[in-house]
Amino acid sequence: MSGTESKVVAITGASSGIGEAAALLLSERGMKVVLGARGLDRLEFLVARIVDAGGEAACARTDVKRREDLSELVKLACERYGKLDVLVSNAGIAPISLLDDLRVEDWEDMIDVNIKGVLYGIAAALPVFRKQGFGHFVNTASTAGHKTVPTMSVYSGTKFAVRAISEGLRQEAGDKLRVTIISPGFVHTNLADSMTNPEVKAQIVGTMDKMAISPDAIARAIAFAIEQPADVDVNEIIVRPTAQG
Ligand SMILES: NC(=O)c1ccc[n+]([C@@H]2O[C@H](COP(=O)([O-])OP(=O)(O)OC[C@H]3O[C@@H](n4cnc5c(N)ncnc54)[C@H](OP(=O)(O)O)[C@@H]3O)[C@@H](O)[C@H]2O)c1
């Protein structure tokens, strides 16, 4: 496998929050980043910022609900930089609410983005990683993927699923591919923007204002996992505010 300084890392959900922080930190550390999200303007702005700082970056409009978009993102990395070392499947939404509200479209959206988006990433990158003989999946789950609470049932379910799928992938991956689950607690990002129930949103924003940590903390955990030697597979990192119960 190539050295850390020349790693090529594709990141979904790179237009804000944790994905954006990871893009900036990994490029500061010499990695080439290939950024995907639906908001192309924000991605292009981020690419320009990275390039201005002396880094290497590319981007493509990527909706993780569309399998072909993930294939295109992986293809962009391989065509532009000759390989893909890491896929960070980070895109996620959290339109949480009580099950009694029957916000079925929100449930479907969370399943499509949070679970199927990760699966489409695996479908796009796994054959490339197998062919290369190296590769690393980093999948963003959540502390809600360890423990659920009222309003978070479906969101939690998607994050439990990300952890189960990632662990299964790790067991099937063999001795050449690495798999890391990143489970953040409350982090200051735009995640509440995806919340459709105003009362629940206000409550989450209040909790975030009280205790959430910087997305840089999660970016550092992602960098830690990536920077380990090829024979060291960091399987899961939970990073949460000290104040989070
Ligand atoms: N913030 C927290 O407290 C927290 C805690 C635990 C886990 N997480 C997880 O961390 C991950 C990143 O979220 P964040 O907190 O950084 O929130 P964020 O600031 O809202 O970032 C979410 C990212 O996902 C992208 N996205 C949303 N839907 C997408 C789609 N269909 N296709 C492609 N990209 C899509 C968004 O970009 P576009 O809108 O431009 O597409 C954005 O770049 C998520 O998986 C989230 O569940 C967050």
Spatial CA neighbour of 36 closest among 84, 87, 94, 79: 87
142 lines ligand 1 (CB under 6 A): yes
Q: What is the CA radius of gyration of the chain?
A: 17
Q: Residue 120 above 60 pLDDT?
A: yes
> What are the CA-CA distances from residue 74 to residues 56, 65, 86, 126, 205 (Å)?
16, 15, 10, 10, 34
Residue pair 129/121 in contact by the 8 Å Cβ criterion: no
Ligand 1 atom nearest the C-alpha of 14 is: 43
pLDDT in tens, 193-241: 999 999 999 999 999 999 999 999 999 999 999 999 999 999 999 999 9
Instruction: Name all contacts of 101-105 with Cβ < 8 Å and 24+ positions apart.
Output: 101/197, 103/196, 103/197
Mean pLDDT on 6-20: 98
pLDDT in tens, 46-91: 999 999 999 999 999 999 999 999 999 999 999 999 999 999 999 9
Q: Residue 5 above 60 pLDDT?
A: no
How many Å lie between the centroid of ligand 1 and the Cα of residue 119?
16
Ligand 1 atom nearest the C-alpha of 212 is: 3
The pLDDT of residue 1 is: 42
The pLDDT of residue 17 is: 98
How many Å lie between the centroid of ligand 1 and the Cα of residue 42?
14
- Could you tell which of 62, 88, 93 is best to mutate to test the pocket of ligand 1, judged by most ligand atoms within 8 Å of the CB? 93
Q: Would you please indicate which residues are annotated as catalytic (active-site) residues?
A: 155
**How many whole angstroms separate alpha carbon 85 and alpha carbon 94?**
28
How many Å lie between the centroid of ligand 1 and the Cα of residue 89?
10
What's the whole-model pTM score?
A: 0.97
pLDDT in tens, 134-193: 999 999 999 999 999 999 999 999 999 999 999 999 999 999 999 999 999 999 999 999
Ligand 1 atom nearest the C-alpha of 155 is: 47
93 lines ligand 1 (CB under 6 A): yes
The pLDDT of residue 95 is: 98
Tokens representing 13 are: 């959900």
The pLDDT of residue 2 is: 46
190 lines ligand 1 (CB under 6 A): yes
CA contacts within 13 A on the Cβ side of 128: 26
